[in-house]
Amino acid sequence: MSSFKQFNLTSKMLLAIEDIGYKSPSEVQELVIPRVLKKESLVVTSETGSGKTHAFLIPIIHSVDTTNNHIQAIIVSPTRELAYQTYIFAREFVKYYPDLKIQLLSSQIEKSRSESKIDNNPHIIVATPGRILDLGVNKTTTNLSMTKFVVLDEADMLMDSGFVNDITELLGHLPNASKLVFSATINSKLAHLIERFIGADHVIALENMTNSKVEHYAIDIRHQSNSDAIESFIKIVQPYFLLIFASKKETVNKIYEQLKQRKYNVTILHGDLEKRERKNIMRRIKNMEFQIVVCSDIAARGLDIENVSDILNVDLPKDLSFYFHRAGRTGRFYKEGKCFTFYNDDDLANIIKLQDMGINFIFKVLKNNEFKEGKALKTKVKTHRKIENQELERDIKKAISETKKNKVKPGYKKAVKNAVENVKRKHHRKMIKENIRKERVKRYIEEARKNG
């Protein structure tokens, strides 16, 4: 079994790790820690729950010089909860590093207070993207010349945060710092950022983006209402600790109200909760005071909630990459877990896309309060094509019927022909775009394999 000793860390760091309770490094830690110690820049596409936070915290804290009172590492986290969690993880080392100053800069903390804290010269800053400019990256008074590390955690989500320019500006001010990018997926915005600041030769892709001990179930609910299906589901599965995901806030609220009325031990987590209320709920979730948590995607991203035995997706997220984040809430640190997804005929194309992305679904039908064996979906490529052709046919029919409104006008036939050509061109472009996306991901993974 590998050990943290293999990284030549100081005995102080080894004691701190032992005190936290970690016996051996996880796969991502084994790959990342030695490279960060060598000040390399990296892009890591890793499983959620794989121990990635400590993969960067351990070598960063090891490398900080506490006699030098300058900002030496900046960690950017997409949400305040995740920033807070990383901050708490980092604070656990302070017992062994009493001179280490860590500052949390998030929207939870008033600006004036956070500014005065920066004046105290912390060594490590954990910030949400909206607070990056508070670091004074564009002020001559702020000294970032000693900053050795910048971490972009859950970077694909950071790219969607609306602060891409601020992040780009920050990276531009730190040409000599190691850039550490952690992301479950690489979207095109992120790919650009990587190409500009890091280069694809530093990509480490861990084989599976999902934990192999998690079983994935696709549940055909045969057009039952969500509320009926959820209640049957809970009766059948009898979950120990269940997270229910829905894409829309209204659905999250509705499910929560329904379960509360039925006297389930349930709570809710969504983006609109008051800060204090949310913190309080998080504390109670960690104390295992609830059996069921109903959440939106944003609220749950990256959160370290332990012991989740089951996940239920009452719908599929609009951005399918969120499926991986939802599923990643269970099976944390290689424990077992189950991720269930309700579907109807309309969702088939997305279920197939997920299969293409590597999810091995077990198919079930929920009927008369029972799970019956479901039929696996046909060969991916063929079904994909069939669905694409069906979509094309549908769009052509729609375009023709719209043009038909002008049937009496001259040039009608030509207009129909043009409309059909337009639809075909659009579909063709869509397929090309999709192929480029797939190729890009494939290229990153291949390059990462080549580089070990």
Give the binding site for ligand AMP (CB under 6 A).
22, 25-26, 29, 49-54, 304, 332-333
Contact 87, 104 (CB under 8 A): yes
Dihedral angle over CA of 182, 188, 193, 194, nearest 10: 60
Residue (of 216, 213, 154, 208) closest to 331 by Cα position: 213
Between 50 and 330, CB nearer to ligand AMP: 50
Contact 242, 310 (CB under 8 A): yes
Residue 256 vs residues 246, 273, 323, 327, 342: alpha-carbon distances, Å: 11, 14, 21, 20, 17
| Closest approach of ligand AMP to the CB of residue 238, in Å | 25
Contact 267, 293 (CB under 8 A): yes
| Closest approach of ligand AMP to the CB of residue 125, in Å | 18
Q: Which helix (H) or strand (E) holds 206?
A: none
Between 85 and 313, CB nearer to ligand AMP: 85
| Closest approach of ligand AMP to the CB of residue 332, in Å | 5
Between 322 and 343, CB nearer to ligand AMP: 322
Place of tokens 């896309």: 353
| Closest approach of ligand AMP to the CB of residue 400, in Å | 52
Between 49 and 317, CB nearer to ligand AMP: 49
Between 77 and 341, CB nearer to ligand AMP: 77
| Closest approach of ligand AMP to the CB of residue 21, in Å | 7
The three-state secondary structure class of 11 is helix
| Closest approach of ligand AMP to the CB of residue 369, in Å | 35
Contact 170, 142 (CB under 8 A): no
Contact 344, 319 (CB under 8 A): no
Contacts with 78 (C-beta within 8 Å, 6 or more apart), sequence order: 128, 129, 153, 154, 157, 158, 161, 301, 302
Contact 156, 325 (CB under 8 A): no
Between 230 and 285, CB nearer to ligand AMP: 285
| Closest approach of ligand AMP to the CB of residue 20, in Å | 7
Runs of H (alpha helix) within 11-163: 11-20, 27-37, 52-63, 80-91, 111-119, 155-159
Between 46 and 178, CB nearer to ligand AMP: 46
